[in-house]
Structure formats: C-alpha cells, structure tokens
Amino acid sequence: MQDLPCTESERYPWLTEPAKRNLLRMLESVHAPTFNHQCGDRLDPKTREQCAEFEKSLAGPLHRPSEPEPAWLNAFQTRCVEHVPIYRQLGRGATRFSELPTVGRKDLYDQPWAFVPDNQPLDDLMVYFTSGTTGRHLDILSHPYVSTCYLILLKKVLAEFGIRLKSGPDQVVIALVCAQKSTYTYASVSGYLDGAGFIKINLNSSDWPEPEAIGAYLRDMNPQIISGDPLALAHLRHVAPALRPDALVSSAMTLSEPFAQALTKTFECPVLNVYSMNECRLLAYQSQQGFRLASPDVYMEIMDPDQDQVLQPGQWGELVVTCPRNPFLPLLRYRTGDFGRLQPSDSGWLIQDFEGRPPVAFRTQQGTWINNIDISAKLRDLPWIQFTLHQKKSGDLVLELLAEAHLIPKVTQRLKALFGAGQKIQVKTFDPNAQAKPIQYSSVLDQQPVNLSFP
C-alpha cells in the first residue's frame, strides 16, 4: 500500500531553514539512493515538552533489586485498571500488582484497540505493522513521543559508553542500515536533536546509482552512529569498511561477542547491543555483565512461560515487562516472548542469557534432550554473523550459517560435541533475504518439556 503522505508541516511541525537544508543535503547528494519514502518525527511543541520531561526522568534512579516494587507501579496499575479496557477486564479485583494477570502478543493480535486508554485522544495515533516471528500481521499502535524517546534513551546509553550524541542541522547523527529484500528508505531530521539528520538505507537495494555509491554516500554523510541488525552490519563491513562512526548499535538479532569484536576492529569503534521492541522501543543495553535496563520507566519480571508465576532471580524464564511509555499501548505485565534470567547487581537488574525466542528442545544422538541455550553457550565464542539450526524428524540437523568459510568446520565440530559424534549436520549458507527476522532455533521433535532451570 502506498502511504498517504503527510504535509511537510505535519511531518515536521518545527522545521527550521537549516534543518531543511540538512534534509536536502541528504536527499540530493549525487551518491544518494532513490529514497522510497518520507518520514518525519512529527514532534509538535506538546510532544517535545513531554520528551523533555522523559529525558529529565532518566536522571532518576533505576529500580534496585534490594528495593520493593518501584513507587510508580501501583499508580500505573490503578490507572490502567480504571481506564484501559483490557486491564479493566482482566485486572479488576487484583489489589496487588503481583496478582495482575499477564497479557501478551495474542491479546495485541486479537484486540489492539483494547490497549488504548479511554481518555487517550486519537489524533496522534500511528500504526506500525510487523510480521513478528510468526509471520502473522501485527498492528502496533504508537505515538511520535515513543519514537523520540528512543533517541533520548540512545543518547543516554551512548553517554554510558562515553559518547555524546551530537545535535544540530549540520550533520547526520544516525544511519540505520538494512540488508533486506525491500524496506522503506528515507532521510529525515530530528527536532529533538535541533535538525540533526537521520537516514534509513537499504544496502541490498538496487536503488543506488552504482554499487560504489553506497560507500561514497555513507562517507559523505559521515553518520556519527550506525545502527542495524548484525546481518546489515556484516554487509556494511564489505561495502564501507573505511567508515569511522563513533559507535555501532546492533539490535533485533543475536549478536555474537566475537563478531562484535570483529566489527570493532573494522570500524574502530564500540558496538552497542540494545534490546528494543516495537511496543515501547528501547528497553535495555548490553554491558559486560548482561543487559542493563536503560530507563526507570521499565519494570521487568521473569516468569514461568506457561503460568503467571514469578520466578526467582537467577531462574531462566520469560521476560515480562511493565512500561507506561507508549500512550497507545501501556504495558502492564506484558509477556515479551523473549527469554533470559534476571540477576540482581549493585547497579540494578541484569538480564543474562538473553534469547529472543521461547526455548526449543533438541534431541541428541544419545536420545537425551538439550536446550537451545546449551547450543548458544557452546557457540558463543565463535565469530559467526548469524545462524539458524533446525532439527528434522529424522533427528538430522540443518545448519544455515553466515560466517567466514573457515568457521564452518569449527561450528559443526562444536555441535557434534554436544549432539554426539555420529550426528548428521547438513550445512547451508544462511540467506539473509529469506526472512526479515530469522527463527534461530526450531525443531519438529520439540515435544519435550524444556528444563528451565539449566545452569
């Protein structure tokens, strides 16, 4: 569907002349791709003020493991149960936060409107759609505020790494690089960053004047930060290895530590791995100890995937988030579909052994069962870019791997060490274009209850 364009004043209610010049510079460069879309930040004065409040709130303390539930939680629960249809329906009668039932993606599929508070005006409603991991179309309702909150959080996370996110209309601060069959591409400017530029480009696309234009355009735009999933960042190493951004930001897929190191070596900058989801955008970022929550407006719990039972710190289970950030989608005990364990630390909660999927059981040659986490742990120190592993009815494995050729025997060797020497492994090259977000682990034999308490 061709999007109905906004007017320029709807797209950029604040647009200044210098910002407009910055936009034209990104659009009209001789190396520029044919952008197929237009997109602004839709930041009106009221939303900007709310964003400023959000930024101020980040100075507040994160929830500490030694403390009881955060102070805002009860008021948020009351507000949701009073004004949000789905929580009114499910949460009435629960007097404590811990008694609230969880909600999940199925609820969003079935009735996204039930998450919209009764008193929320619909003027600023935006609809993103995602096919998610199941391929089923999912509408995510959102607000321009949430998009700019991502920038504010990114600014904070970068500061943790000693990097100051620039602002001003004479530069491009972020390039979001994609390596997909097709995706929206556009150039934009941010009012919150005083007209600083943002480009979203597709490295795979035939939209470029010539193949060399990709590197030349990125060199000319000289983005301070380059973000993308590991596949796109791997592609970037080939097409523009001479770029020297201040940082790379990886998201959406598992980033192996050795591959992150390889990226650092190429681009001579740190690689930040962030945990972000469409429903409320950036939630956490990876540190040496695990993923740290990025903002005090996030309350994370770890739960049994099959019932509303909170697990103890250190136990592995489903991440359940409470976050009031999205005005059209307040999240109250929302099951993320992502897994990990929550560990207390002096500076706040850490998410460790993070996996963006429910657990999958694999059968070994000995007839025993192992979890996908065992496999992740076994392959953790190898610099693969991306892989998927599927177990067929026969027990044979299909490994689709994107990595340098010399790594293939190492990976299969490690898998055989886990599954048994006689394990048959069919190796294919991972096709980055096959699916927008690959399902890393799958098995037709997965009928075994997964042991969630493995180390």
Long-range contacts of 20-29 (CB under 8 A, 24+ apart): 20/189, 21/169, 22/169, 22/170, 22/171, 22/172, 22/189, 22/195, 22/196, 22/197, 23/187, 23/188, 23/189, 23/197, 25/197, 26/172, 26/187, 26/197, 26/199, 26/221, 27/187, 29/217, 29/220, 29/221
Distance between CA atoms of residues 164 and 102, nearest Å = 38
The reply on whether position 201 binds other proteins by CB under 8 A is no
The reply on whether position 344 binds other proteins by CB under 8 A is no
Q: At 80, which helix (H) or strand (E)?
A: helix 72-83
The reply on whether position 110 binds other proteins by CB under 8 A is no
Binder among 44, 229, 246, 297 for other proteins (CB under 8 A)? 229
The reply on whether position 160 binds other proteins by CB under 8 A is no
Alpha helix stretches (DSSP H) within 230-317: 230-239, 257-267
Binder among 151, 331, 350, 375 for other proteins (CB under 8 A)? 151
User: Going residue by residue from 56 to 85, which x/- string records binding to other proteins, judged by CB under 8 A?
Assistant: -----------------------------x
Nearest distance in Å: CB 188, other proteins: 4
Distance between CA atoms of residues 167 and 355, nearest Å = 34
Q: Which stretch binds other proteins (CB under 8 A): 72-80, 184-192, 357-365, 368-376?
A: 184-192
- Residue 274 main-chain phi, psi, to 5 deg: -115, 150
Q: How many residues bind other proteins (CB under 8 A)?
A: 68
The reply on whether position 135 binds other proteins by CB under 8 A is no
**Closer to other proteins at the Cβ: 154 or 373?**
154
> Residue 316: which residues within 8 A CB-CB, separation 6 or more?
302, 339, 340, 341, 353, 373, 452, 453, 454
Nearest distance in Å: CB 4, other proteins: 5
The reply on whether position 144 binds other proteins by CB under 8 A is yes
Distance between CA atoms of residues 137 and 278, nearest Å = 13
**Closer to other proteins at the Cβ: 84 or 370?**
84
Between helices 230-239 and 257-267, what is the axis angle to 10°? 30
> Residue 71: which residues within 8 A CB-CB, separation 6 or more?
none
Distance between CA atoms of residues 49 and 411, nearest Å = 51
**Closer to other proteins at the Cβ: 139 or 396?**
139
The reply on whether position 308 binds other proteins by CB under 8 A is yes
Binder among 17, 30, 66, 95 for other proteins (CB under 8 A)? 95
Give per-residue burial for 102-131: e unless 16+ CB within 10 Å, then b: bbebebbeeebebbbbeebeeebeeeeeee
Q: Which stretch binds other proteins (CB under 8 A): 15-23, 142-150, 345-353, 379-387?
A: 142-150
Q: Which stretch binds other proteins (CB under 8 A): 127-135, 361-369, 380-388, 414-422?
A: 127-135
Task: Show contacts with other proteins in window 6-25 (CB under 8 A).
Answer: 6, 11
The reply on whether position 181 binds other proteins by CB under 8 A is no
Binder among 205, 227, 295, 440 for other proteins (CB under 8 A)? 227
How far is the first Cα of the chain from the last one, in angstroms, to the nearest whole number?
48
**87 close to 332: Cβ distance less than 8 angstroms:** yes
The reply on whether position 432 binds other proteins by CB under 8 A is no
Which residues form the interface with other proteins (CB under 8 A)? 1, 3-6, 11, 37-42, 85, 90-95, 99-101, 111-114, 116, 118, 122, 125-130, 139, 141-142, 144, 147-148, 150-151, 154, 174, 176, 178, 186, 188, 190, 198, 200, 227-229, 232, 249, 251-252, 274, 276-278, 281-282, 307-309
